[in-house]
Every structure is written in structure tokens, then in C-alpha cells.
């Protein structure tokens, strides 16, 4: 199964991890609770480890990992997690596009073309983010 990793999915797993009360996590069981395949769950945990949210030890067998949840995971969750972070990113890109449009109205004709290209790029990025959601 090939699961699309969305901000909402990462938030579900982050919530699950920060409320986990054992020193080890069974990724097979935890992935079933979320409703995704174990491979996707493992990839997200590895991402969390690279991001500094958790520390994973060497596995016991195939699916049992020692886990330590770091303060950064709790902070990120309390600030809205991945979903809010994406919404802020979209808002900033949208704001940039509007500011560039306003600026392009004030530019001389030789700089207007460059500003229009930047506005188009910003709108393309925003559209791509909306499409991925």
C-alpha cells in the first residue's frame, strides 16, 4: 500500500507518539491504530527523529523500537502541528503574491516583467500546495 503522507497524517502520528506512555513502540500495532501500513509509519518516525522530535533506538525484532519523545515534539504539537504550519506557509506565500502584485503596479516597465514572473511563480507554488492538500 502506498499512503500519501499529509500534514494531517503526520499530526495524527505526532499526537499518538507524544501521548504514548511506554518506553518502546510497536510500529506494527501503532500503524494499524492509525490505519496505515507499517512502512509509511516507520518512514514518518524516521522523519520525526531527523527533526529532533523523538529518539529511536535499535529495534528489538522487526517492529519494537525504544522511543524517547523530546520536548520539541510537544512544543510543535502545541503550536498546531504540521497542519497549522502548512496553513501559515500558504498564507505567507499568498501574502507575498499580493505584495508583489501591488509592487508591480508601481514599477517601471522594464522591471514590471520580472515582477510578473515572480508573482506567477508565487501563485504556482500556492496552487501546488493547495493541490497537495
How many residues would you count in the chain?
A: 133
CA distance 5 to 1: 12
Flag whether pLDDT at 67 surpasses 70.
Answer: yes
State phi, psi for 68 to the nearest 5 degrees: -130, 120
pLDDT band at 125 (very low <50, low <70, confident <90, very high): confident
Q: Taking Cα atoms as reference points, which of 57, 84, 79 lies closest to residue 68? A: 57
pLDDT band at 63 (very low <50, low <70, confident <90, very high): confident
| Angle (CA) 45 60 44, round 5° | 10
Contacts of 90 (CB under 8 A, 6+ apart): 126, 129, 130
CA distance 59 to 67: 10
CA distance 119 to 97: 5
Q: Please write the tens of the pLDDT for every residue from 27-59.
A: 999 999 999 999 999 999 999 999 999 999 988
Amino acid at each position: 500500500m502506498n499512503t500519501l503522507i499529509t500534514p494531517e497524517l503526520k499530526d495524527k502520528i505526532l499526537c499518538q507518539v507524544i501521548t504514548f506512555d511506554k518506553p518502546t513502540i510497536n510500529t506494527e500495532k501503532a500503524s494499524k491504530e492509525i490505519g496505515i501500513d507499517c512502512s509509511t509509519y516507520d518512514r514518518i518516525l524516521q522523519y520525526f527523529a531527523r527533526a529532533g522530535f523523538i529518539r529511536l533506538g535499535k529495534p528489538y525484532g522487526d517492529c519494537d523500537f525504544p522511543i524517547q519523545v523530546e520536548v520539541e515534539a510537544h512544543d510543535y504539537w502545541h503550536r498546531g502541528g504540521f497542519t497549522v504550519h502548512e496553513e501559515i506557509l500558504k498564507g505567507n506565500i499568498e501574502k507575498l503574491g499580493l505584495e508583489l502584485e501591488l509592487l508591480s503596479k508601481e514599477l517601471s516597465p522594464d522591471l514590471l516583467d520580472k515582477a510578473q514572473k515572480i508573482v506567477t511563480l508565487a501563485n504556482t507554488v500556492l496552487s501546488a500546495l493547495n493541490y497537495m492538500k
